[in-house]
Structure 1
């Protein structure tokens, strides 16, 4: 359409680190949304999700952890899963120490029986579910598509697409039985546009688009809304896991900031996980009662320049 292609980031000695920062495509930024949520908390009064049951996959870190804590602050009873038990117990303890109600239930979203068990145990403990956030996801470093191994492809697709399918498969029946609810999925700005080296991730996140659309149409008559949040760059543990050894905190922060300035044309920074969580809570609330079957970018202006 006559537009110039977006240049790939190039960062001298730390070029590999800058490339690793591309893993932040698992989430995105909307500072105004976070500010609205915090303002509501300061005003006090009724909490938006008082007494509601919330299920979250991938809740031990990043966006999932931020969402679990935020839903609990708003009065929800939160059941969340993840593979890392130590982190899961820590999140559970933090939420309870702050007056919230949450339970960590270990599960790997790639395994059908573990997902079924997670949903069954969560429903048995908290009822519902009223809201589900299917957030678990993985991304590999930049790799040309023909160089992606079969094992890497299966891991990305198995977590990001199969994991969402399995979660929906076991969440929808009890949600229908309860009279309705909201299913959110953490997608990506890669549902709309991609870059070199992100083929497997982009394919998986486009699979999320199809799942959300199909589930929304099939369940609208049962009072269930299905929406994807499509984040851009977010500063999460997924990114920090690729930090090269020996790089100081200051150097790593500068590298991430430089990559975000190049990649996010609008706000020129990465989102914080809490900002994406604030968007999730907004979309799960009654304020968005007419929103279903869509993928909503929360990307700080990243897609505006593509």
Structure 2
């Protein structure tokens, strides 16, 4: 039996990268999927990929930093599927690599607005619906930068530490009502975000893999599909005793 058969799943930031891989994995494991992103073309491509493989999905454009758009996103989910069983709060941005005192305030504000405020707003809207239907499972996308510091990335690090904190609190507050909340903390993963960070860090002097592979004890960066495997498992009944966890999926990065 598929891990999330007959369940409905919402994945933010699913026009590419880890979000797209998660949406595809949810569909492959039997879920009906809501694909959401600010990137309309990429989101619709994700839906098409799911449908080509025999799954069911639809796209909703939403900026998760805006409460009205988050509420509309969850409302559309309920309108289409009748309930919300699984949610993956993946949407996020990386911002600029600069020392803390040189970070522009607008860069800090935008990263916090999307990564932390956006996750908070999604949690509120998702939990409200899950409470009406007897529970559910939520996975927030944090980062190894939510577990340790990274010079040059203070706003991003702060936002992801915040996501891990929100995850713990939500798990504590709603566990007895059947809602599990966990965070996944990826290391370096083959995505456009990592390419952007590598480009900023080296000025193009090194490829993403040249820069990042040696930093991981396993000897390589991860794939979006490897992160998606854990996301879907956490949302399934197979993870029924797992909540409030901030789980690194990082090729051993934070074990160093």
Q: How many angstroms apart in 1 are the aligned matches of 2:144 and 2:43?
A: 27
1:205 matched residue in structure 2: 160
**Which of residues 154, 158, 167 is equivalent to 2:122?**
167
Q: How many angstroms apart in 1 are the aligned matches of 2:197 and 2:248?
A: 25
- CA 1:242/1:230 → structure 2, altered by over 3 Å: closer, same or farther? closer
1:257 matched residue in structure 2: 209
2:187 matched residue in structure 1: 232
1:289 matched residue in structure 2: 240
Match status 1:277 vs 2:228: yes
Q: Deviations over 1:119-141 (max 9, x none)?
A: 00011101221110000011123
Q: How many angstroms apart in 1 are the aligned matches of 2:129 and 2:135?
A: 9
Deviation of 1:243 after TM superposition, in Å, equals 7.6
1:113 matched residue in structure 2: 68
> Who wins on radius of gyration, i.e. which is larger?
1
Q: Deviations over 1:207-234 (max 9, x none)?
A: 1121111111110111000000011100
2:254 matched residue in structure 1: 303
The alignment partner of 1:79 has SS state of strand
Q: How many angstroms apart in 2 are the aligned matches of 1:194 and 1:241?
A: 18
Q: Deviations over 1:73-117 (max 9, x none)?
A: 111000021001111111111111110001110000111101100
Task: Mark the runs of 5 or more structure 2 residues left unpaired by the alignment.
Answer: none
Q: How many angstroms apart in 1 are the aligned matches of 2:25 and 2:8?
A: 13
**Which of residues 47, 51, 59 is equivalent to 1:92?**
47
Task: Mark the runs of 5 or more structure 1 residues left unpaired by the alignment.
Answer: 1-45, 245-250
Q: Deviations over 1:148-197 (max 9, x none)?
A: 11110011100110000010111111101110010100000112212210
2:11 matched residue in structure 1: 56
The alignment partner of 1:81 has SS state of strand
Q: Deviations over 1:256-277 (max 9, x none)?
A: 222123321x212110101100
Matches within 5 A, 1:211-226: 211-226=166-181
The alignment partner of 2:137 has SS state of strand
- CA 1:278/1:56 → structure 2, altered by over 3 Å: closer, same or farther? same
Q: How many angstroms apart in 2 are the aligned matches of 1:199 and 1:207?
A: 12
Q: How many angstroms apart in 2 are the aligned matches of 1:262 and 1:75?
A: 37
CA RMSD of aligned residues (A): 1.5
Q: TM-score, normalising length from structure 2?
A: 0.94
2:33 matched residue in structure 1: 78
Q: How many angstroms apart in 2 are the aligned matches of 1:111 and 1:146?
A: 28
Deviation of 1:242 after TM superposition, in Å, equals 6.4
Match status 1:192 vs 2:192: no
1:155 matched residue in structure 2: 110
2:21 matched residue in structure 1: 66
Alignment length, in residue pairs? Answer: 252
Q: How many angstroms apart in 1 are the aligned matches of 2:72 and 2:28?
A: 26
Q: How many angstroms apart in 1 are the aligned matches of 2:178 and 2:198?
A: 44
Q: How many angstroms apart in 2 are the aligned matches of 1:100 and 1:142?
A: 39
